[in-house]
């Protein structure tokens, strides 16, 4: 054995010992509320257009060009994590590891990863306030630095949260299973106000200007002043509200499990119209201004006239509306993506995208595609 071989063997042993020590240290740290990612593969970045779930040619047919692709999350049979586009980051929360991953929106590279809370905690969709990332469990709000994921503050919640954080000015509002709407001052970490509902709150509250809209498990809905929690108006559906409501410039759209989508006057709560279906509604509606797109439980997407509530068209293989571009509508289908004429519902172009789980709108008309195998892909809009 020559000197070089001996040196390599020596450093291999040292590296192995260091690895064992490091692994032990990380395992011990698992009890902390926030810790780094452990025992997972580093992401694989693709910038050449190879090994893609959506080909560059197919993207071009929809009016987009490939920017980057990356394996940012763990490959799981259960589906993709909760993901949100938050400023210059894409932040995902994975169960059951409670792994929070921040991915650069610019190039798809992982900026930081942290394990948050304990394995028994349930984490909700994250939010962002300035240079802070907000992630909450049912019992605590974790305030992380957007730059590096370090824990900046841990705020205990005195009610059991049932949704992610809703930002309403300097308040953080939660729905709870204890029938209360809870507002926390983010700077001080204390309860500002709470409002008692008739049942547990399943759908996340929605902020609108200086107010916040909340609906509960018995169908009661309220508009509250975000600063004080004072009641502005209220009403009631005939079934549970489990889907997130949608706020438009003129209305609040409330899908209910009583088979109806309600359009309420945003200022007064007065009923504008109701669209009836044959099954409970558990997905949010998408407002386009000239049409309201509603995923229906029997399969497909329905276009509704926002003035009258009348059905305009129906696309059977559609899953959800994604975004509008120029004078067309981009939708996610059971097989991938499609461009649709919003007036007639007729498809103009289609593109296959196997394993596509959801699509998030990004800045400057870009799209973030989330796949069930843990891959992310960014598409940029081609200027018309």
DSSP string, 238-297: SS---SPPEE-SSEEEEE-TTSEEEEEETTT--EEEEEE-SS---S--EE-SS-EEEE-T
Give pLDDT, residue 34.
55
Strand pairing partners for 182?
174, 194
| pTM assigned to the model | 0.84
Give pLDDT, residue 45.
44
Ranges of residues in the chain whose predicted pLDDT is under 50 = 1-32, 37-50
Give pLDDT, residue 35.
57
Upper half-sphere CA count for residue 288 (Cβ side, 13 Å): 25
Asked whether 338 and 350 are in contact (CB, 8 A), the reply is yes
CA distance linking residue 309 with residue 276, whole number of Å: 9
- Rounded alpha-carbon distances, angstroms, from residue 180 to 161, 163, 202, 217, 370: 9, 12, 11, 12, 33
Q: Which ranges constitute the DSSP H helices of 324-365? A: none
Give pLDDT, residue 90.
97
Beta strands in 37-170 (DSSP E): 45-46, 64-71, 82-86, 89-94, 99-104, 110-116, 127-129, 132-136, 140-145, 151-156, 166-168
N-to-C CA span, the chain: 66
Give pLDDT, residue 295.
95
């Amino acid at each position: 054995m020559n000197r070089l071989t001996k040196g390599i063997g020596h450093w291999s042993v040292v590296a192995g010992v260091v690895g064992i020590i490091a692994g032990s240290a990380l395992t011990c740290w698992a009890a902390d509320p926030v810790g780094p990612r452990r025992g997972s593969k580093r992401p694989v970045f693709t910038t050449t257009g190879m090994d893609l779930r959506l080909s560059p040619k197919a993207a071009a047919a929809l009016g987009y060009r490939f920017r980057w692709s990356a394996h940012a999350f763990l490959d799981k049979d259960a589906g993709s994590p909760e993901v949100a586009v938050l400023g210059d980051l894409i932040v995902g929360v994975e169960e059951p590891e409670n792994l929070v991953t921040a991915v650069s929106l610019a190039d798809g590279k992982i900026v930081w990863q942290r394990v948050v809370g304990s394995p028994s905690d349930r984490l909700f969709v994250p939010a962002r306030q300035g240079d802070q990332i907000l992630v909450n469990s049912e019992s605590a709000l974790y305030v992380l630095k957007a730059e590096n994921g370090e824990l900046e503050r841990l705020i205990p919640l005195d009610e059991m949260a049932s949704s992610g954080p809703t930002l309403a000015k300097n308040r953080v509002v939660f729905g709870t299973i204890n029938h209360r709407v809870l507002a926390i001052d983010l700077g001080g970490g204390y309860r500002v106000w709470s409002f008692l509902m008739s049942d547990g709150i399943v759908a996340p509250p929605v902020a609108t200007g200086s107010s916040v809209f909340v609906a509960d498990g018995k169908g009661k809905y309220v508009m509250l002043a975000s600063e004080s929690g004072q009641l502005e108006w209220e009403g009631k559906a005939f079934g549970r509200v489990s889907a997130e409501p949608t706020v438009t410039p003129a209305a609040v759209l409330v899908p209910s499990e009583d088979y109806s989508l309600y359009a309420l006057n945003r200022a007064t709560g007065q009923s504008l119209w109701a669209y009836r279906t044959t099954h409970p509604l558990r997905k949010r509606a998408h407002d386009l201004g000239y049409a309201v797109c509603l995923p229906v439980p029997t399969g497909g997407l329905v276009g509704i006239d926002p003035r009258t509530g009348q059905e305009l068209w129906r696309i059977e293989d559609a899953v959800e509306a994604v975004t509008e571009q120029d004078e067309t509508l981009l939708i996610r289908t059971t097989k991938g993506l499609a461009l649709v004429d919003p007036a007639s519902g007729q498809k103009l172009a289609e593109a296959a995208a196997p394993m596509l789980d959801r699509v998030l709108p990004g800045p400057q008309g870009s799209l973030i595609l989330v796949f069930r195998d843990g891959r992310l892909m960014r598409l940029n809009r081609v200027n018309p």
